[in-house]
Structure 1
């Protein structure tokens, strides 16, 4: 080669390198993950294990963990959202359990529901006779067993699915399902307390039997560690993001208080704009926001998501499950073995019905937990905490008419439904959707990928579902980015 030719080649090489450097700078991180909850952190870990480490995680709040979030209350650390490892001591290992129990050794307690029949309170005070309540529990269990048998006979496509309430009508011939105060609270405890929505809207085929308990076991363990259940998410994040000695994430690839407002996508890449007018560019984006956020107008997609995708998002339910913590100057409720959970049989379904005391978990804290869901959750979120406290005191004084029930000194009322970063607590399978809609919910749209507990094929609504969905969705992206296997197959609705 002549000197002139060599010089020209050198100039060309420099220009080419500069051009590529410019493109690389413009492209930004290879993958943007929207959300630092369990599924987003899990997806990032799986991508990193596959060699995709050029990441940025944009989190709208000031913390990692999403709906796994602790809060100081009355001198203890309580969980605003997820609290249990659900599904333990079965045939398979729940993937969250060894992290909680062995790796991190988070303080946890097996929840004891065994003597619930002794702890059902009348609306005007006193408990129902144990024998009577047990008889109603046995009937409810028998109806559910019939539901399991019926569910097993339904076509796998879901075309014959029905609501749990319809199943109850088939099995016990009551025109409106459970209607007495005792039957209503037992029904609420069995279904609403688990799915956060009533049997009339919940799918039979996708919830009975429930894969979580079928696969992992019937036991559930309450996490009551001052580090918080969110320590699991920090632990996973620390395996690929730089952390300090206390476990806090200090990696610049994690950016907090970054509210994503627009995601633009094309065949060549993605562009993500945040509320503070920052712009991030990448090859792909993984959206791990809650289903409730996808159903809201917080994030605009440009171009708009296709109709099939929008319909799949709107057809699922984002339920609301509210754990209200109440502190007192002294205890007035029964304690001891078999007393951890107690029920209030109101004539108004779901009205401050499920209670838990913390003799073991938080000794001497004098704190009770009452759980409400669905319409009651939404109603309570729209009133003052003081009004909620007044209602709770009326209920407790009705339940414990012969006790000196002091005024509560503090109350903590989460507002998941009103929070624009969540718009609910977890997803629920309603009647009318099946695996076809689920596949569409999880399916990518071009370079936009989706994950979250709502995309978990068998465990939606659970912490382990969020964890596994992050892995599953990351694998779909990895297949495209590294193996050029970008086609995602959605089986026909009735195939």
Structure 2
């Protein structure tokens, strides 16, 4: 009897030990928590600046089990060169903005490391190059007065912004700021100068743009007021390629051959749970991982290109939908010969139309592309959307009418035209984000916040530099560091301060 009892006790102890061991194994299992894994798997959606920089940051931290899925046939995203009339031009990002200040812009460092061909953009003489709608030039003193007025209004805005609550609860639009100073331009010169100082930077009009988050602009306050136009035949996107080469395998010709980068992979569905993620692409392929980093534009996130399962929480969707994806269209036109002024002080010129935003900002590119006879005209917002929906021939006809207005009826006909269509492109749905009135710091933190194992990055998640290349670069680092902190330290909660703190 004692032996039988002892045997039962031994059996109970053994069973208990087995159960404890199984429980311990379950707790430590990578299927329940990947925060303890040394090399978890991560899918990165998008190979633009933010996606590549996030991947590089993860790789530098020892997280190398990554898969990058890019919808197009190239890396770089909105930093993209195309061939036009025998030269490579940039249809997306073109400038390094914010140079020669108290801090060094990281993109300026990369551009110099690669010895990218670039040119200082000198806007100082633009007041002498403002054309009337009916022909001829406006007096430079009139244009200069309009520019000085804008500077005065912005100076008032800076002082006012410093008194407002940092949460943004008291924010106003740039237009409201103008009204407070009794300055809402309505004449052709006033409107084109207003466009030049506002829309040309933010791609949206003053009535839309947040004052508190744009006056002053952190880019120029921190990195300097100078900007440089990149005109290198390798393309501005070579800075992204340079970063990618630092962690992806290349062949002897420096072509990326790393299987972790997959092009022409259009992500259509992201399923997520507390144990992992599954990503489905348009070609029917399925990819599984522990985490996913979504680096598509906020314009894409506002569409149904990518379906999330389950749906993103309401707070996330609402925050994403409140932010703006602006449209900034650079139209390139080639001519058989030059008929516009060239030389110092003539690079930028304005067209002061009675119709605000109608082909207003022009740039002759003789320094950047000698002998190419190419002009660049910039339109934004509603004009961009209108132009995208008409033929290139119709756009060319409108442009020729404007140029004949400025330079006379006998100018030669354009031979080539390139009209980017960022708004119509389902992979971008615009060019860059703009901070609109009504979005406070609270909503912006919600845009940046991860949802379970789904993380977000892109220029729209940059705290101070949304809309800029350096913003995309820094956002990739910041978002990756959030994920690294979760993976390596188990610190997975993203703290969002209360709405008006």
Distance 1:29 1:36, change over 3 A: farther
* Structure 2 counterpart of 1:5: none
* Structure 1 counterpart of 2:58: 47
Gaps of 5+ in 1: 1-15
1:163 aligned to which of 168, 173, 184? 173
* Structure 1 counterpart of 2:303: 296
| Alignment of 1:480 onto 2:486 | yes
Counterpart CA distance in 1 for 2:229 and 2:371 is 18
Counterpart CA distance in 1 for 2:404 and 2:238 is 37
Counterpart CA distance in 2 for 1:262 and 1:334 is 52
Equivalent residues in 2 for 1:48-87 (5 A)?
A: 48-87=59-98
Counterpart CA distance in 1 for 2:491 and 2:217 is 32
| Alignment of 1:146 onto 2:156 | yes
1:345-374 CA distance string (max 9 Å, x none) = 010010000000011100000000000000
**RMSD (Å) for aligned C-alpha atoms:** 1.9
* Structure 1 counterpart of 2:468: 462
Gaps of 5+ in 2: 1-24
* Structure 2 counterpart of 1:441: 447
1:205-228 CA distance string (max 9 Å, x none) = 000000000000000000000000
TM-score, with length taken from structure 1? 0.93
Counterpart CA distance in 2 for 1:250 and 1:340 is 41
1:416 aligned to which of 410, 422, 429? 422
2:223 aligned to which of 211, 216, 224? 216
Counterpart CA distance in 2 for 1:249 and 1:255 is 10
1:271 aligned to which of 260, 278, 281? 278
Equivalent residues in 2 for 1:74-473 (5 A)?
A: 74-101=85-112, 103-171=113-181, 173-174=182-183, 177-401=184-408, 404-473=410-479
TM-score, with length taken from structure 2? 0.92
SS of 2:363's equivalent in the other structure is: strand
1:37 aligned to which of 48, 51, 68? 48
Counterpart CA distance in 2 for 1:257 and 1:40 is 15
Counterpart CA distance in 2 for 1:408 and 1:352 is 16
Q: Which one has the largest radius of gyration?
A: 2
Counterpart CA distance in 1 for 2:206 and 2:243 is 35
Q: Displacement, 1:135?
A: 1.4
Q: Displacement, 1:29?
A: 7.0
Counterpart CA distance in 2 for 1:70 and 1:245 is 23
Structure 1 ranges of 4+ moved more than 4 A: 20-23
Counterpart CA distance in 1 for 2:252 and 2:173 is 50
Q: Displacement, 1:244?
A: 2.8
Q: Displacement, 1:21?
A: 12
Stretch deviating more after TM superposition (380-389 or 141-150): 141-150
* Structure 2 counterpart of 1:13: none
